[in-house]
Structure formats: C-alpha cells, structure tokens
C-alpha cells in the first residue's frame, strides 16, 4: 500500500519532539491514535478550556511536484476553503518550522491553529479526511482527492500484467510494458490537477 507523503531531499532528520518520535517509530497505529484524540476533542473541549467556537486557521506545508500534496489541494479546491500554502523548498523558514514540529521534511502536513492550540496533521489521506469531516457537510471527496485514481490504476496495471502472461499474441510485450508503466505512475495521478480545468467551490 502506498504511503501518502513526499520527502524533500533537503530535509534533515534529527527531530526530538514526542510527536516526531512517534512519527518515526509509529506509523499507522500512531496516526489513528491521534485521529481518535482529534475526533473526541470537541466533546471534552469545555472541560479542557479549548475554545472550539473560533474558526481554525489552516496552513498546508507542501512542495511542487508532490502528487500527495496535489491530492490535498484537490480537496481544498473542491471545498472552497482558505488554506495558506507554504512551499518548504522555496521558504526556508517554513521548512525549518516543519522540521522542528515533526522531525521530518515529509509533506503534505496540515498545520491547524485553533485559538492557542496548534496541531500538525501528516499523511494526505488523514488530511483529506479531516477537511471533509470538518468542512464537507457530508460530501464525498472529489475524484482526485480520493483513493479512486490510485485504486483504478492498480487494478488496471494488474489486468494488463495478467493479460500479458495469458496471451500468445505479439502484443504481449506491449501489454507487459503498459502494465508496468501504469503501476509505476498510479500514485502520480493527482498531478492531473495541474492540467485539468477545475472549479473552485464557493
């Protein structure tokens, strides 16, 4: 299964925060734990002194050419919400802030500021889920923001590979090459956002 992030080659890897350590050694289980905390926070906010009435300020840490970042940007386009974008390859201060908070240079990461509370949410799938849960009003993710393109690409590549092995025609080599190519490019499909016409909601 593909992991929903891109890594900047200029990133350093010596973070020391608890969350950065969890991200280094935890992976999916840790993300789910943080997700459960995020989902239950509104229920306990009055006792924790957290003001959930204030609209959250969002900032997306990203860089050009990252397909997982484009997946999140497709969700932002679809929902028509205001999110500040911070390119960690062009803005050294943003890259430093991301590294200090997460211990990594992997993107996308969504910074969520709610009053005095700041959260850093990694992983494209978790970010898209948060955006639609918070702002989607029950809507399903847009096509390029969903897993559908990657899943369809995987199934198509497997079909082409199987066909290349069971056919005796001279086209089997083309089927094999096409299957390998589709498999290699399946996770880059969200980059189509850059060339397809899109309508921003709002």
- pLDDT tens across 25-68, in order? 444 444 444 444 444 444 444 434 444 444 789 999 999 999 99
Q: Cα(70)–Cα(81) distance, rounded to whole angstroms?
A: 15
Predicted confidence at residue 197, as pLDDT, reads 63
Q: How many other C-beta atoms lie within 10 A of the C-beta of residue 171?
A: 12
d(CA 92, CA 94): 5
Q: Along the 202 residues of the chain, how does pLDDT read in single tens digits?
A: 455 667 665 554 444 333 434 443 444 444 444 444 444 444 444 434 444 444 789 999 999 999 999 999 999 999 999 999 999 999 999 999 999 999 988 999 999 999 889 999 999 999 999 999 999 999 999 989 998 988 999 999 999 999 998 988 888 889 999 999 988 888 888 888 877 765 555 4
First vs last Cα of the chain: how many Å apart? 34
Pairing of strands 57-62, 84-87: parallel
Strands in the chain per DSSP E: 6-7, 57-62, 84-87, 106-107, 109-114, 117-122
Tell me the C-alpha distance between 41 and 80, whole Å.
25
Can you tell me which residue has the tokens 């430093």?
A: 96
Instruction: Write down the pTM of the prediction.
Output: 0.68
């Amino acid at each position: 299964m593909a992991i929903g992030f891109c890594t900047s080659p200029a990133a350093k890897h010596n973070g020391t925060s608890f969350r950065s350590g969890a991200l280094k050694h935890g992976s999916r289980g840790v993300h789910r734990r943080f997700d459960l905390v995020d989902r239950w926070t509104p229920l306990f906010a009055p006792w924790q002194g957290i003001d959930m009435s204030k609209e959250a300020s969002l900032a997306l840490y990203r860089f050009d050419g990252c397909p997982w970042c484009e997946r999140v940007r497709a969700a932002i386009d679809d929902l028509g919400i205001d999110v500040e974008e911070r390119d960690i390859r062009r803005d050294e201060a943003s890259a430093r802030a991301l590294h200090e908070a997460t211990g990594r240079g992997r993107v996308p990461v969504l910074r969520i500021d709610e009053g005095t509370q700041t959260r850093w949410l990694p992983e494209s799938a978790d970010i898209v889920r948060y955006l639609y849960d918070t702002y989607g009003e029950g809507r399903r993710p847009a096509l390029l923001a969903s897993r559908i393109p990657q899943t369809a690409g995987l199934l198509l590549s497997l079909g082409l590979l199987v066909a290349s092995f069971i056919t005796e025609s001279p086209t089997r080599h083309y089927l094999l090459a096409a299957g390998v190519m589709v498999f290699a490019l399946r996770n880059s499909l969200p980059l189509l956002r850059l060339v397809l016409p899109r309508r921003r909601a709002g």
